[in-house]
Structure 1
Amino acid sequence: MKRFLPIILIIVASLLSYSNIFRNEFVFDDPDVILKNEAIKDITNLKAIVTTNYWHSEANAGLYRPFIFLTYAIDYHFWKDNPVGYHFFNIIGNLGSGIVLYLIFALLLNNPISALLSALLFVIHPLHTEAVTGIVGRAEVYAAFFFFLAWYWYLRGYQKGYFNVAMMQYCLFSNYAIGSYIAFFLALCSKENSVVLPVILASSTLVFGREFSVVRSRNILVSLVPYILVFFAYMLIRMSVIGSIGPQGEEQFFHGKPFTTVLFTMSTVFIYYLKLLFLPTGLLGVYRHWPMYASFFDIRVIFSMIILSCAAICSVLYLLQKKTWQFFVFFFVVTLFPVSNLVIRIGDIMAERFLYLPSAGYCALVGFFCSSLLRRYPGKIRLLLPRRVMLVSVSILFVSLIVLTVARNAVWRNGIVFWHETLKHIPDSFPGYYNLAVAYSEKQQYNRAIQALQKSLDLHPRHHLARRYLAELYYDIGNYEEAIKQNALLLQYQPTEGVVYSNFALCYFKQRKYDQALAVAERGLKHAHDKTPVYHVMMRIYKNENDYENALKTAYKAVEYNPDDIKAYLNMGTYYERMEDFVLAKESFRNVIKRDPKNLEALDKLASIYFKEENYRDAIAIWRNATKWYPSAESFWYYIGLAYDRMDQHELAVKSWRNIKESSEYKKRIQERLQ
Structure 2
Amino acid sequence: MSFSKIKLIGILLIIGLLAYLPSLKNSFLWDDEQFIYNNSYVKNFELKKIFTENTIAGAGETSSYYRPLTTLSFAIDHQIWGLNPIGFHLTNTLLHVLTGIILFTLLIYLGISKNASFWISAIFLAHPIQTEAVVYANSRGDSIYAFWSILGLLTFSLLCQKKYPKFQIYNLSLKLKRVHLTTLTIIFYLLSILSKEIGIALLGLFFLTFLSFNLLKIKKMWSKNKIQIFTLGLLTLTAFSYLIFRNKILNISTSLKVYDPTSPYGSSIFVRLHTFTKSLWDYFQFIFWPYKLHMERNLEIINQPVSIWLIVTLVLIVFVAIIGFFEFKKQKTIFTLYGFLWFLVMLVPVSGIIPVNGLIYEHWLYMPIIGFMIFMFGVLKTLFKNRLKNILKYFLPIILAIYIILTIKQNSIWSNPIKFYNYTLAFSQTARMNNNLAMAYAQAGENQKAVENYKKAIEISDYYPQIYHNLGNTYLDMGEIDLAEQSFKTAILMNNSFFPAYGPLINILLSQEKYDQALPLIKNLINNSEFNFTTNLVYLNILYKTENTKEAEELATELKSLYTSDQRALNQIEKVIKKD
TM-score, normalisation: structure 1 = 0.71
Partner amino acid, structure 2, of 1:305: L
Report if the CA contact (8 A) 1:252-1:346 is conserved.
Answer: no
**Paired residue type of 1:429:** T
Q: What one-letter code is carried by the residue in structure 2 that aligns with 1:120?
A: A
* DSSP 3-state at the match of 2:220: helix
Which of 300, 303, 327 does residue 291 from structure 1 map onto?
Answer: 300
- Aligned residue for 1:606? 569
Bigger shift: 88-97 or 463-472? 463-472
Please give the alpha-carbon distance, in whole angstroms, between the structure 1 residues aligned to 2:488 and 2:197.
41
Give the 5 Å matches for 1:526-675. Answer: 531-533=520-522, 564=531, 566-571=533-538, 605-606=568-569
Task: Note if 1:239 corresponds to 2:228.
Answer: no
1:174 counterpart = 2:179 = yes
- Of residues 312, 331, 334, the one that matches 2:342 is 331
Stretches of structure 1 that go unaligned for 5 or more consecutive residues are 163-170, 526-530, 537-557, 577-582, 595-601, 613-675
SS of equivalent to 1:211: helix
Alignment of 1:88-487 (within 5 A): 88-158=90-160, 161=163, 173-209=178-214, 211-218=216-223, 219=225, 220-244=228-252, 246-250=254-258, 256-287=266-297, 289-296=298-305, 302-313=307-318, 323-342=334-353, 344-368=354-378, 375-377=385-387, 391=393, 393-426=395-428, 428-460=429-461, 464-483=465-484
For each residue in 1:301-328, what CA deviation from the matched residue of structure 2 results, as whole angstroms up to 9, or x when unmatched?
A: x121112223444566758865321211
1:245 & 1:484 partners in 2: Cα distance? 34
CA distance in 2, matches of 1:352, 1:160: 37
Paired letter, 2:81: W
1:608-651 deviation per Cα after TM superposition (whole angstroms, max 9, x unaligned): 789x9xxxxxxxxxxxxxxxxxxxxxxxxxxxxxxxxxxxxxxx
Residue aligned with 2:23, SS: coil
2:560 and 2:570 in contact (8 A); partners too: no
CA displacement at 1:242 relative to structure 2:
2.7
CA distance in 2, matches of 1:559, 1:174: 52
Q: Is the 8 A contact 2:26 2:416 kept in 1?
A: yes
Give the fraction of aligned pairs with identical amino acids, expressed as a percent.
20
Please give the per-residue CA displacement for 1:403-431, whole angstroms capped at 9, x wherever unaligned. Answer: 111111111112211110110111x3232
Q: 1:593 to 1:415 in 2, by over 3 A?
A: farther
Question: In the aligned structure 1, how far is the partner of 2:479 from the partner of 2:95?
Answer: 47
Checking the alignment, whether the CA contact within 8 Å between 1:570 and 1:592 is kept in structure 2 is no
Distance 1:246 1:490, change over 3 A: closer
Structure number with higher relative contact order (C-alpha < 8 Å, ≥ 6 residues apart): 2
Alignment of 1:516-527 (within 5 A): 517=514, 521-522=516-517
What's the TM-score once normalised by structure 2's chain length?
Answer: 0.81
When the two chains are superposed, the root-mean-square deviation of aligned CA atoms in Å is 4.0
Indicate the SS of the match to 2:347: helix
Bigger mean CA offset, 451-460 vs 46-55 = 451-460
In the TM superposition, what is the alpha-carbon distance from 1:212 to its structure 2 partner?
Answer: 3.2
**Inter-partner Cα distance in structure 1 for 2:260 and 2:560:** 41
Cα distance in structure 2, aligned partners of 1:150 and 1:61:
28
Measure, in 2, the Cα distance between the counterparts of 1:204 and 1:177. 14
Q: Work out whether residues 586 and 606 of structure 1, in 8 Å CA contact, stay in contact via their aligned partners in 2.
A: no
- The answer to whether the 8 Å contact 2:131/2:410 transfers is yes
Separation (CA, whole Å) in 1 of partners of 2:482 and 2:556:
40
Instruction: Show the counterpart of 1:48.
Output: 49
Gaps of 5+ in 2: 165-175, 544-552, 576-580
Determine if contact 2:413/2:419 at 8 Å carries over to the other structure.
yes
1:306 partner amino acid: I
- Compare CA radii of gyration and give the structure with the larger one: 1
Q: How many residues align?
A: 543
Question: Judging changes above 3 Å, is the alpha-carbon distance between structure 1 residues 237 and 506 closer, same or farther for their aligned structure 2 residues?
Answer: closer
User: Once the 2 structures are TM-superposed, how far is the Cα of residue 128 of structure 1 from its aligned partner?
Assistant: 0.9
Judge conservation of contact 1:98–1:123 (CA < 8 Å) in 2: yes
CA distance in 2, matches of 1:257, 1:129: 33
**1:321-341 C-alpha deviation (Å, 9 max, x unpaired):** 653212111110111112112
Once structures 1 and 2 are overlaid, which stretch shifts more, 451-460 or 176-185? 451-460
Moved more, 259-268 or 451-460: 451-460
